[in-house]
Structures are given as C-alpha cells and as structure tokens.
Amino acid sequence: PENPQLSDNLMKAIGAEAVDWPFKTECCGTSLIFQDVNTTLDMSRKVVDVATKAGAEVIVTACPVCEMNLDMRMESINNRFKTNYHIPVVYFTELMAVALGSTPQEVGIDKGHCGSTQSLLAKIG
C-alpha cells in the first residue's frame, strides 16, 4: 500500500506518536552501497531530511538493514551534504522491548548505536 499503517499503529499502541510522512515506503539505498556509495548516501539523506522536516524526533525502522544504514551513515551524510542531522535511528523492536518493561540499557539503546540516542533516552527514561 502507498500509505501503510501497521508501523504507525504499532508505535501508537506502545505510546509513541507516529508522524505522518511521505517516505514511509522509500528505500534508504543500502542495497546499492557496494556499487555506488554516493547514491546510497543521497537516498539515505532524503529519508532523514523528509523525516526531520515532518517533525520526527526519532526514525523507527521495520527493516534492520535500514536501521543500520541510516544510523551508521548519519555522519557521512552530514559531511557530504553539509547538513547537521542528529536524529536517533532505532529498530522498532527496541522500542517495543522498552514498552514491555525492559530498560533502554537492557535493550542496548544507550550504547548500541553509532549516532546519539540521548534525546530518545531522555523521553523514554
């Protein structure tokens, strides 16, 4: 579907506010990383840019490869495009685990990411 709702509904069910944004189904470009790193960075930048402009405070992915790519390449995106993105990127199961009673430390949100998750940790405890 062009406007999938499952992830939005899941985030709402655990107490998060899902931001409506037009890139829900866009590819982050990871599959191209070995062929064309510049295209991957450009595609990833677009995802981060649109999420930020839509008002997202965190990017929650349903794909572990997207989570890794967006998190790991944030600094490269900033360097290449002269941007200053610092939005946390997490896999949806990390937030689910916290909502179900695990601490962020048990889940690894506090140290298992390349980018800073401090703003997210401040919100979830």
Please name which of 56, 70, 74 lies closest in space to residue 8, comparing C-alpha atoms. Answer: 56
Residue 110 in tokens: 């506090």
pLDDT digits (tens, 9 = 90+) for 20-35: 888 888 889 999 989 9
| Inter-residue contact 56 to 26 (CB < 8 Å) | no
Residue 117 has pLDDT above 80, yes or no: yes
pLDDT digits (tens, 9 = 90+) for 39-61: 999 999 999 999 999 999 999 99
d(Cα 45, Cα 29) in Å, to the nearest integer? 10
Give the mean pLDDT of 90-103: 94
Q: Indicate the pLDDT class of residue 111, thresholds 50, 70 and 90.
A: confident
Q: Indicate the pLDDT class of residue 83, thresholds 50, 70 and 90.
A: very high
pTM of the model: 0.90
Q: Which domains does the chain have, with CATH numbers?
A: 6-124 (3.40.50.11810)
Residue 102 has pLDDT above 90, yes or no: yes
